[in-house]
Structure 1
């Protein structure tokens, strides 16, 4: 960031990509760590086809003791924690961009809007052309809503966080359940709900069949067909609201310089670990208990009213453990020995977009029918191990790439399209790779 603010507002022409010396390396490390968890989650649930399998088949894969343990550990420590962390870092990145724009005396809106527009294009290409689980397009769309909060007070932002993450996920399912009963009657509403559930099962079966086929074009057709079914659903709108809530938490953290000035917030971080563990254990423990009760047939989500509070309880659990990860990384990063170990992830975080897209390409080659065809055949432990192995290879590849180039290839494209001109990619002959700084 600039050391001083210009006396007169500057134009957007003065905007430029962040220099290596201006990067907050802890954010790159956390982004690399989050990317690893997101990849494990995507591999466990989607790339492997696990969430598309009939219940009997998925239960068979998780019934051996090792697989049951891996599945429980995944749901407790990984599921939704790393996407929460990733979204938090996205919002924090917006706060840093806003601060840099204010330091130049410029508006963040034009540049930020172009960045999101380009990201949306990349995300839609990824969504339609490769994998329906793309998150980039959703981040880009929701990212525009962040502009509405750039001048709002911290209290207002925090209020919206609570509404979007804790209130809306509870209220919307209640309305979805009760309003049809009031309008159509209980029997008609029940039949309609069963029809929707049956349609979901059929669409998942069709998607699994398409992805397991030996034709790339058949898989893309199945991908597109499932997208038309998935995109209009109300739960997707609720999910995007939750994403905005996570973005806003990152915005607040960026305003407070929470990760830029760790020493100042040491006491906060210790409290975050304590309370994060409390909420994390309660929230995620509740989910595990609920799942066991449902499998045993002693819990009926339709009849037990308290189940409507489950989304809020789960979200507190996701936030709790995600905050533990952030606080632990921040505190450990202040110790020189840990810092040397953890900063190995920084290049992966700097190339997060490239690595995210590469993970999709590699996973489709491994799991889809036109590739190695592992979909529906891999137990959870092997899916997790395979994801970790691929990620482990991305670490030295990221180091090697950034030793010669300034950006990852996808990041270079993103920046070049954003600024309307090709950015210098290759490092000059006398230019040393960026050093990892505190």
Structure 2
């Protein structure tokens, strides 16, 4: 006699008792770094990323720029990406263990995420990462059955491609300069590109600071398509996919599920991640802050290589440090404060965009362009410190954040229960995350 498992049970969303607390802590921690890095694009046009720090910048703002590049830039979206890949593995194991079909459900999740990302990028803020997650998440399916060694190999290859592309570009430009007529033509080309960037930046500066919602939306769509999507597709996209694969590797090796057994691994990752990550990012921040990024150059290549090595290594160091600290009772109690923040990470990510665009855009308080790096750090801390108690308040009363509830309800095509029952309010956070 056989017993069939109801489809609704097989495809039901992950419950509170099925989560891995470390994943939520890491996600909550990453939200601070995401906001820290994103603040520059909330307060200034996306085109400003290709220009160096302006002459005459006060030392404290220059140091703040350096610090953000050193500790934040490129590290925290990689951390989110790793957790995304981990979630794929954990959810796949959970559904297939119950006899369900994982791929259709996963593709529906990505389709809903893509929709949320498009709304976010076009109607709220230009710096969206969710679209890349949804698009490159489809490619992740190709690796779901891969062996751990294969996953690591492809992760390294994908991380190396943007660096190699930048190196090849720099070599071609330098070779062109050696030709009799090449140097002048190359300089003119990049001068024209810089002038175009500057013109776009001046227009964006005016629109975001003074424009209404319609005008800002038109500018935002233009900026996203031309700069954030096609301009970073081969860098942010491939780096995200590489860290997806590393997350799948972590899941297959059950590294987060058995922290005690993997403490030696975390100690090694912390040591090497700190050495290579801090060194690489110190070089990156020191070189990149004062130079223009319109034209490939040897300093820009050095910065690219340093970040290409340093960013993923420092990301792994962050993960390892937090994983090891959770094994110390006093630190575990402190870090658990971030759990609700991570449980509603999508909501908090989107709310950061809504809050900051209302502060800076013309249809809000119109403070665009008035906040520099040091003040941006202060504002980041203030917003994040507000999100922590709000997340605690919400998660004590509800099972999911609002965005998470919408995502799950549309994915499973069924309204999910939102309010907590007395029993669900006291369930521990452990097990699988998806």
Q: TM-score, normalised by structure 1?
A: 0.88
Distance apart, 1:277 and its partner CA: 1.2
Whether contact under 8 Å (2:77, 2:240) holds in the other structure is no
1:382 counterpart residue number: 375
Q: Distance in 2 between matches of 1:288 and 1:232?
A: 24
Q: 2:36 aligns with which of 34, 40, 64?
A: 40
Q: Distance in 1 between matches of 2:130 and 2:22?
A: 22
2:70 counterpart residue number: 76
Q: 1:312 aligns with which of 305, 312, 317?
A: 305
Distance apart, 1:365 and its partner CA: 0.9
Change (3 A) 1:51 1:238: closer
1:51-130 superposed matches below 5 A: 52-53=47-48, 58-59=53-54, 63-130=57-124
1:31-430 superposed matches below 5 A: 31-43=27-39, 45-49=40-44, 52-53=47-48, 58-59=53-54, 63-171=57-165, 174-175=168-169, 178=172, 186=182, 188=185, 190-230=187-227, 233=230, 235-291=232-288, 294=291, 302=296, 304=298, 308=301, 310-428=303-421
Q: Distance in 2 between matches of 1:300 and 1:204?
A: 13
Distance apart, 1:269 and its partner CA: 1.0
107-116 or 215-224, which deviates more: 215-224
Whether contact under 8 Å (1:70, 1:381) holds in the other structure is yes
Whether contact under 8 Å (2:116, 2:130) holds in the other structure is yes
Q: Distance in 2 between matches of 1:342 and 1:203?
A: 43
Q: Distance in 1 between matches of 2:231 and 2:211?
A: 33
Whether contact under 8 Å (1:10, 1:105) holds in the other structure is no
Distance apart, 1:76 and its partner CA: 1.0
Task: Count residues with an aligned counterpart.
Answer: 426
Change (3 A) 1:268 1:259: same
Change (3 A) 1:360 1:289: closer
Whether contact under 8 Å (1:12, 1:107) holds in the other structure is no
Secondary structure at the aligned position of 1:79 is classed as: coil
Distance apart, 1:224 and its partner CA: 1.8
Distance apart, 1:226 and its partner CA: 1.9
Q: Distance in 2 between matches of 1:126 and 1:21?
A: 30
Whether contact under 8 Å (1:32, 1:352) holds in the other structure is yes
Secondary structure at the aligned position of 2:235 is classed as: helix
- Determine if the alignment matches structure 1 residue 19 to structure 2 residue 15: yes
Distance apart, 1:214 and its partner CA: 4.2
Whether contact under 8 Å (1:210, 1:222) holds in the other structure is yes
Whether contact under 8 Å (2:152, 2:246) holds in the other structure is yes
Secondary structure at the aligned position of 2:146 is classed as: coil
Distance apart, 1:71 and its partner CA: 2.1
Distance apart, 1:222 and its partner CA: 1.2
Q: Distance in 2 between matches of 1:231 and 1:42?
A: 13
Whether contact under 8 Å (1:91, 1:246) holds in the other structure is yes
1:3 counterpart residue number: none
Change (3 A) 1:176 1:302: closer
Instruction: Give ranges in structure 1 of 5+ residues lacking alignment.
Output: 1-5
Q: Distance in 2 between matches of 1:164 and 1:101?
A: 29
Whether contact under 8 Å (2:18, 2:429) holds in the other structure is no
Q: Distance in 2 between matches of 1:249 and 1:324?
A: 14
Q: Which is bigger in relative contact order (C-alpha 8 A, separation at least 6)?
A: 2
Change (3 A) 1:241 1:261: same
Secondary structure at the aligned position of 1:432 is classed as: helix
Change (3 A) 1:135 1:166: same
Q: TM-score, normalised by structure 2?
A: 0.89
Q: Distance in 1 between matches of 2:24 and 2:49?
A: 39
Q: Deviations over 1:336-373 (max 9, x none)?
A: 11111111110010000111111111001111122222
Whether contact under 8 Å (2:166, 2:304) holds in the other structure is no
